[in-house]
């Protein structure tokens, strides 16, 4: 399939002079509003949403199969609002160039839902059909279909919703769009996709080029076998692990590398539980050697992944360099309360040491605001993560009852008060009461965690361990510093941040005033220069610290930072009171 500019993809019949009909599809991944009503946007983001790539690939495949007839020309235009300021007037002119047209709001998360509705409303008012899909409407339909706040504004705006996976029903949706017969609701939750026969992903270069490190998304499979109460994935994708074929994965990665791709994010919620992890890592290893590729691959796994025979070694050979673990808490009582029984506190240190000895950058999700949390306990948890657990880069999240999770359905059933503004369901806002802390105290605690963990003294420890265990130091150093300062400066989770913040007053949320153009522009330029200057200064200081540590390493002074497994004669240093509780809590969870 030819591409005109990397963001507009025509079907093969685009150049056919005799083409009688055409279909234009505008695919938009909405962002969300910040606390001041501005859409969160950046000149470049850390990564883009792979859902856009998957959906566009499905539509391109349908065009190749000519599901709407040999004379139908299908063209897509793809926008990730995180890195692109939309011009609705220009986009409407583009849509007007087709006989049939529609706007697809793709991969909408709960915090993006209000923004998605605002975008959709602008198009429906002008007469363009809009279909909204993603985890928010899918999870809500699956778990709380009668909870009105989950669908607020949809009917009034005239927006259709699509719940479930698209693979097996893309032909149906395209035919309805062509025939002008789009339904108000597509409930396809029962139609889980056979990923083995699903179309192969195709690289979307325009989206990749808007990320700082040119990240490509790579979907191996879907589903997760565990039953965490806060999770939405298991209630949309299910608990049965499904996967794409290794041949399809090899074809996609080869094409990405051909186009200059060097960074990949495997989007599976739990790659270590994929039935084809061995085949996939073998294919990646072969490709890496054949293409002489030096790539950077990130995966997500559970805390038991190091116990899967051969898994860590296979990941290292395949060129996987970053591992994200669902840690959630270092407290057995909190893990039990969230159904996270697979995490054993007394095994955490050896698990992390194993990954570190393999040279991996180690990320972990940590939830703040679990039932038994207090400021004092969280402070102790931070100390444990710094001193006892060799974690590199934790990401802190406020416990959030996301629509689609068991936690959220329980609160709805019990009539517990929750925030009705879906924009706040981003794991950086407090959306319901905590039994031991006020909402204000809990939110303040979140930002304090980012600050306290990412201290200058702990940066020294993290860098020293990284040098000793062969980690990629540029990534380790820059990610540590950026996490600390982006959280402090922007009051956003660094995962949704990027380089050079854009605050477009034209898309400010309803209810907020529009600022005068010139003063607003000056504030934005000055703010970006100041924040960028602060970040650059700290990055340079961190690099200086690394150079100092390299000199010390040559003199043998970093050996105290070297990590060893408990089987190598080093006892676990996890705090005694946690270790004492671990056996009983683990047994109860099992």
pLDDT at position 107: 96
User: Can you give the pLDDT at residue 15?
Assistant: 40
Reported confidence tier of residue 244, pLDDT bands at 50, 70, 90: very high
Strands (DSSP E) along 21-137, which ranges? Answer: 21-29, 41-45, 72-80, 100-105, 130-133
Question: How much is the average pLDDT of 81-85?
Answer: 96
The 10s digit of each residue's pLDDT in 183-196 is 999 999 998 999 99
pLDDT at 275: 95
pLDDT-based confidence at residue 20 (cuts at 50, 70, 90): confident
Question: Regarding beta strands 72-80 and 8-10, do their DSSP bridges make them parallel or antiparallel, or are they unpaired?
Answer: antiparallel
CB under 8 Å to 322, separation ≥6 — which residues? 296, 297, 298, 299, 360, 361, 363, 475
pLDDT in the model for residue 6: 40
pLDDT for 14 beyond 50: no
Q: What is the pLDDT of residue 16?
A: 47
Please state, rounded to an integer, the average pLDDT across all residues of the chain: 91
**pLDDT tens, position by position, 467-486:** 999 999 999 999 999 999 99
pLDDT reading at 565 higher than 60: yes
pLDDT value of position 8 = 61
Q: CB within 8 A of 589, min separation 6: which ones?
A: 332, 335, 336, 340, 341, 342
pLDDT at 585: 40
When pLDDT is cut at 50, 70 and 90, the band that residue 227 belongs to is confident
Answer yes or no: are the C-beta atoms of 517 and 527 closer than 8 Å.
no
pLDDT in tens, 330-369: 999 998 888 887 888 889 999 999 999 999 999 999 999 9
What is the number of helices (H) and of strands (E) in the chain? 19, 17
**Residues linked to residue 139 through DSSP beta bridges, in sequence order:** none
Whether residue 299 contacts residue 273, with contact meaning beta carbons closer than 8 Å, is answered with: no
Instruction: Give the pLDDT band of residue 532 (cuts 50, 70, 90).
Output: very high
Q: What is the pLDDT of residue 584?
A: 44
Residue of 313 and 47 predicted with greater confidence: 313
For the chain, percent of residues with pLDDT exceeding 90: 84
For the segment 141-149, the average pLDDT, to the nearest whole number, is 96
Q: Note the pLDDT of residue 590.
A: 40
Q: Judge whether residue 146 has pLDDT over 90.
A: yes
Round to whole Å and give the CA distance between 416 and 554: 59
User: 27 has which bridge partners?
Assistant: 78, 104
The C-alpha torsion from 491 through 509 and 233 to 487, rounded to 10°, is -10
Task: Quickly state the pLDDT bin for 12 (edges 50, 70, 90).
Answer: very low
Terminal Cα distance for the chain, rounded: 51
pLDDT for 449 equals 96
* pLDDT band for position 27 (cuts 50, 70, 90): very high
Average pLDDT of the segment spanning 372-383: 96
β-bridge mates for residue 299, sequence order: 323
pLDDT band at 9 (very low <50, low <70, confident <90, very high): low
Please report the pLDDT score of residue 574 as a whole number. Answer: 52
Q: Are 72 and 23 within 8 A, CB to CB?
A: yes
Residues 19-38: what's their mean pLDDT?
93
pLDDT at residue 293, as a whole number: 86
Quick one: CATH architecture of 8-196? 3-Layer(aba) Sandwich (3.40)
* Mean pLDDT computed over 445-451: 96
Residue predicted with more confidence, 515 or 345: 515
């Amino acid at each position: 399939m030819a591409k005109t500019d990397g963001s507009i993809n025509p079907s093969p019949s685009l150049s056919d002079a005799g083409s009688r009909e055409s279909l234009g599809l505008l695919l938009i991944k909405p962002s969300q509003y910040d606390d001041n009503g501005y859409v969160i946007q950046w000149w470049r983001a850390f990564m883009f949403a792979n859902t856009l790539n998957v959906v566009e690939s499905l539509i391109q495949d349908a065009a190749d199969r000519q599901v709407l007839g040999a004379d139908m020309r299908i063209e897509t235009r793809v926008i990730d609002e995180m890195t692109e300021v939309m011009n609705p007037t220009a986009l409407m002119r583009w849509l007007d160039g087709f006989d049939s047209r529609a706007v697809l709001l793709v991969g909408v998360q709960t915090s993006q839902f209000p923004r998605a509705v605002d975008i959709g409303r602008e198009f429906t008012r002008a007469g363009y059909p809009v279909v909204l899909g993603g985890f928010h409407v899918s999870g809500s339909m699956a778990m709380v279909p009668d909870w009105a706040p989950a669908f607020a504004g949809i009917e009034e705006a005239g927006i259709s919703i699509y719940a479930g996976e698209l693979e097996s029903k893309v032909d149906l949706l395209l035919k309805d769009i062509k025939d002008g017969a789009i339904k108000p609701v597509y409930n396809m939750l029962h139609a889980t996709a056979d990923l083995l026969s699903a179309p192969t992903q195709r690289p979307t270069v325009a989206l990749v080029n808007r990320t700082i490190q040119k990240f490509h998304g790579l979907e191996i499979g879907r589903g997760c076998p565990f039953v965490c109460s806060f999770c939405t994935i298991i209630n949309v994708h299910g608990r049965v692990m499904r996967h794409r074929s290794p041949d399809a994965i090899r074809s996609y990665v080869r094409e990405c590398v051909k186009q200059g791709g060097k960074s990949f994010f495997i989007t599976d919620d739990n790659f270590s539980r994929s039935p084809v992890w061995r085949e996939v890592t073998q294919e990646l290893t072969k490709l890496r050697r054949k293409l002489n590729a030096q790539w950077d691959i990130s995966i997500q796994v559970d805390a038991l992944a190091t116990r899967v025979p051969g898994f860590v070694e296979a990941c290292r050979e395949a060129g996987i360099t970053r591992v994200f673990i669902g840690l959630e808490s270092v407290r057995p009582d909190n893990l039990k309360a969230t159904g996270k029984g697979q995490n054993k506190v007394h095994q955490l240190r050896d698990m992390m040491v194993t990954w570190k000895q393999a040279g991996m950058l180690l990320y972990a999700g940590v939830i703040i605001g679990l039932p038994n949390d207090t400021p004092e306990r969280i402070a102790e948890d931070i100390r444990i993560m710094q001193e006892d657990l060799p974690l590199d880069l934790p990401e802190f999240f406020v416990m959030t009852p996301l629509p689609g999770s068991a936690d959220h359905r329980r609160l709805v059933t019990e009539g517990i008060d929750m925030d009705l503004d879906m924009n706040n369901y981003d794991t950086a806002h407090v959306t319901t009461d905590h039994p031991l802390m006020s909402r204000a105290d809990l939110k303040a605690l979140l930002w304090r965690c980012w600050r306290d963990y990412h201290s200058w003294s702990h940066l020294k420890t993290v860098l020293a361990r990284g040098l000793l265990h062969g980690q990629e130091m540029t990534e380790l150093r820059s990610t540590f510093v950026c996490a600390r300062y982006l959280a402090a400066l922007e009051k956003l989770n660094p995962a949704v941040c990027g380089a050079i913040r854009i605050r477009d007053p034209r898309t400010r949320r309803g209810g907020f005033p529009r600022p005068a153009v010139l003063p607003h522009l000056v504030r934005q330029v000055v703010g970006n220069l100041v924040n960028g200057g602060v970040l650059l200064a700290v990055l340079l200081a961190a690099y200086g610290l690394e150079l100092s540590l390299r000199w010390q390493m040559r003199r043998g002074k970093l050996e105290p930072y070297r990590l060893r497994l408990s089987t190598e004669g080093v006892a676990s240093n996890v705090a005694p009171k946690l270790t004492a509780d671990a056996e009983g809590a683990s047994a109860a969870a099992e």
